């Protein structure tokens, strides 16, 4: 590992670019995996606009933020930090999705040593191994790449993306919350709710979030686990 890579500091713009690339690659990987596993293509994107799986982007940024300072640490230490970081992050993301949107994108209730179906030992070990590879190989590689590229008007592009991303998150949250209201039998009471009903009806939302399942579906399949799902 070169001294230059050790001294390289990731800028805010570097992290934004890392987030974008990782989110796009994550979407591609999830889509390809669905095709290979199930024989058909199904939406795996996180937001109603674009083709991004933001869990992958968040994971890449978080791993880099936390592990960049541990490049010279022992493999065991890196594995443990990644194990804990990935597990806690996965649990918080799952709980947050359930509280805000009333749905879940993954459920590990069928796997041994799981906690409320949100995390399990198998995937926690995966996080540890991934973090180790990320620290020893990916972070040094990204340091070399970022130190060698200079994008014209970089700040402008980053600013435009951030505005687009915030808008996309707000639009996606509004569409998802309105879908939950329709499920509860609530009619639109204003022009905003009518907009979501017109442009993001249930059929379209189910296609966008084809891999998500409602809490009611999870409870019906795993009544024992769901009793402590929010614990």
Tokens at 20, concatenated? 């974008």
Tokens at 196, concatenated? 């979501």
φ, ψ of residue 119 to 5 degrees: the values are -135, 160
Q: What is the pLDDT of residue 4?
A: 42
Q: What is the pLDDT of residue 99?
A: 81
Q: Are 98 and 215 in contact (CB under 8 A)?
A: yes
Give one DSSP letter per residue of 75-107, joined into a string: HHHHHHHHHHHHHHHHHHHHHHHHHHHSEES--
Mean pLDDT by 10 residues, the chain (231 residues): 56 95 93 89 90 90 92 94 91 84 82 93 94 94 89 94 96 92 93 96 92 66 51 45
For residue 118, give every residue at least 6 positions away whose Cβ sits within 8 Å of its Cβ, in sequence order, or none: 90, 91, 94, 95, 108, 229
Q: Which of 54, 83, 75 is nearest to 135 (CA)?
A: 75
Q: What is the pLDDT of residue 218?
A: 60
Beta-ladder partners of 2: none
Q: What is the pLDDT of residue 19?
A: 96
Q: What is the pLDDT of residue 226?
A: 46
């Amino acid at each position: 590992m070169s001294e230059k890579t050790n001294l390289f500091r990731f800028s805010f713009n570097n992290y934004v670019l890392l987030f974008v690339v990782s989110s796009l690659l994550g979407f591609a990987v999830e889509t390809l995996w669905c095709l290979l596993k199930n024989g058909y293509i199904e939406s795996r994107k996180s937001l109603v606009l674009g083709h991004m799986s933001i869990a992958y982007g968040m994971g890449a940024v978080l791993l880099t933020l936390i592990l960049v300072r541990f490049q010279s640490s022992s493999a065991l230490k890196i594995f443990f930090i990644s194990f804990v970081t990935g597990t806690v992050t996965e649990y918080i993301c799952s709980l947050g999705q359930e509280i805000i949107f009333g749905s879940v994108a993954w459920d590990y209730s069928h796997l041994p040593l799981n906690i409320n179906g949100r995390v399990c030992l198998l995937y926690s070990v995966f996080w540890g191994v991934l973090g180790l590879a990320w620290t020893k190989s990916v972070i040094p590689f990204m340091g070399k790449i970022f130190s060698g590229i200079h994008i014209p008007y970089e700040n402008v592009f980053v600013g435009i993306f951030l505005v687009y991303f915030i808008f996309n998150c707000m639009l996606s949250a509004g569409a998802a919350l309105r879908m939950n209201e329709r499920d509860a039998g609530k009619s639109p009471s204003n022009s905003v709710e009518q907009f979501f009903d017109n442009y993001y009806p249930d059929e379209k939302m189910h296609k966008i979030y084809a891999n998500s399942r409602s809490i009611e579906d999870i409870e019906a399949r795993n009544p024992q686990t769901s009793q402590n799902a929010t614990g």
